[in-house]
Amino acid sequence: MNDYRELRINVSPCSETVTDILAQFLSEAGYESFVADDNGLTSYIKNELFDPAAVAEIIDTFPIENIKMDISDTFVEGRDWNSEWEQHYFKPIIVNGQCVIHSSFHKDIPEAQYDIVIDPKMAFGTGHHQTTSLIIERLLAMDLDNKSVIDMGTGTGILAILAAMRGARPITAIEIDPMAHVNAVENVKLNGHPEIDVILGDASALSNVQPADILLANINRNIIVGDMESYSNALKTGGTMILSGFYEDDIPVVVNAAKQYSLKQIDYTTRDRWASLSLKKS
C-alpha cells in the first residue's frame, strides 16, 4: 500500500509548456508529484493505481504535434518515507516570512509567527508545491478569527492547521486517501489542534458537515469541477471558496463550472503557471 511507481517521460524537443501539459494530464490520472527538467518529466503514482494504458492514451492524444516521447517506469518499494524526506528531500520552508513548515527532525528552523510541524508518512505532501504556498499566502492575509473552515483534500493537514493557528473555528478536514488521513490526524495532534475534525472520505462527506464560512480545495481541476455543487452546498451564502491544484489556463473552466452554483470569481494568483482562485457565494 506504500509502494509507488516512478514514471519517466523523456521528451524531444522538450519545453516548459510540454512538461506542464504532461503534468496536468498525469495529475488528472492520479499522479501525485512531478519533477521537470531539461529532458522531460518524472512523476509518481501509487503502485496499485498505475495503468500503462492510461499513460499510453495521454501520449497518443497529446495536443502538441511533432513531439517524441520515450517512456519508462520503475517500481519504488514502500519505505519509511519520513526517513527518506529527512535524508534527501524535505527542507524547512517559510512563506511570506510569517509561516514556517518543517518536520520534527529539522534543526536550525527559521523563526516565524506560525510554526507548523509536518512529519510526512507518505512519499509526497510536505507543502512545498506552488499551489500549497499560494493558499497559505491567502490564509495569512485573511481574517480567520472564529470563521468556520472546510479543507477538502487536506493531505498532511497543513492548511487546516494554519487556519486553526489563525483562530478559525470549527475546522473540518476531509481526505480520501486512508494513509494521508492517518498522517493528517497525526500532524493535527503534533501541532496541538485536536479541535480539527479530520474525516476520511470524499465530497459526499460534506453532507454531514455544517456549511462553512470558508472552503478550501487544493486538488485538481477535474475533481474540483466535478464536485463543485457539493462544495457550493457546503459554503454559507457570502462565504469564500479558495481553490487550487490547477494551471492558470484552467481558470476559465473552473469559473464557468462555479457560475452554475452562485459562485462568482473574486480574484486569482499564480506561481509558475499554477493558480489559486478565490470565489464568493452569492
240 lies in the same domain as 152: yes
**Domain for residue 235, yes or no?**
yes
Q: Say whether both 141 and 211 belong to one domain.
A: yes
| Spatial distance between the Cα atoms of 44 and 82, rounded to a whole number of angstroms | 17
Residue 118 lies in a domain: no
- DSSP assignment letter at 29: T
Q: Are residues 257 and 146 in the same domain?
A: yes
Q: What is the full per-residue pLDDT of the chain (282 aa) written as tens digits? A: 578 898 999 999 998 888 888 887 888 888 877 778 889 998 888 889 999 999 999 999 998 889 999 999 999 887 665 555 555 556 778 888 899 988 777 777 888 899 998 876 654 455 567 888 899 999 999 999 999 999 999 988 999 999 999 999 999 999 988 878 888 999 999 999 999 999 999 999 999 999 999 999 998 888 899 999 999 999 999 999 999 988 898 999 999 999 999 999 999 999 888 899 999 999
Residue 122 lies in a domain: no
- Residues 79-101, buried b or exposed e (16+ Cβ, 10 A)? eebbeebbeeebeebbbeebbbb
Decide if 226 is inside a domain: yes
> Is residue 178 in a domain?
yes
Domain co-membership, 273 together with 200: yes
**CATH number (domain holding residue 35):** 3.30.70.100
Mind giving me the DSSP string for 31-100?
--EEEEETTEEEEEEEGGG--HHHHHHHHHT-SSSS-EEEEEEEEE----HHHHHHHHS---EEETTTEE
Whether residue 41 is found in the same domain as residue 147: no
Q: How far apart are CA 11 and CA 18, in angstroms?
A: 8
Q: Rounded to an integer, what is the distance from CA 42 to the centroid of its chain?
A: 18
Domain that holds residue 197: 130-281
Q: Does 138 share its domain with 266?
A: yes
Residues 141 and 53 in one domain: no
SS3 content of the chain, % helix, strand, coil (to 5): 35, 30, 35
Considering the domain architecture, whether residues 262 and 145 belong to the same structural domain is answered as yes
Q: What is the DSSP letter of 177?
A: S
Same domain, 157 and 43: no
What's the structural domain count of the chain?
Answer: 2
134 close to 244: Cβ distance less than 8 angstroms: yes
Domain-terminating residue out of 51, 76, 101: 76
Q: Which of 49, 76, 103 lies at the terminal end of a domain, its last residue?
A: 76
The answer to whether residues 149 and 246 belong to one domain is yes
Task: Tell whether 109 is covered by a domain.
Answer: no
Cα–Cα distance for residue pair 160/168, rounded to 1 Å: 9
Last residue of a domain, one of 52, 76, 100: 76
What is the separation of C-alpha 185 from the centre of its chain, rounded to a whole number of angstroms?
Answer: 17
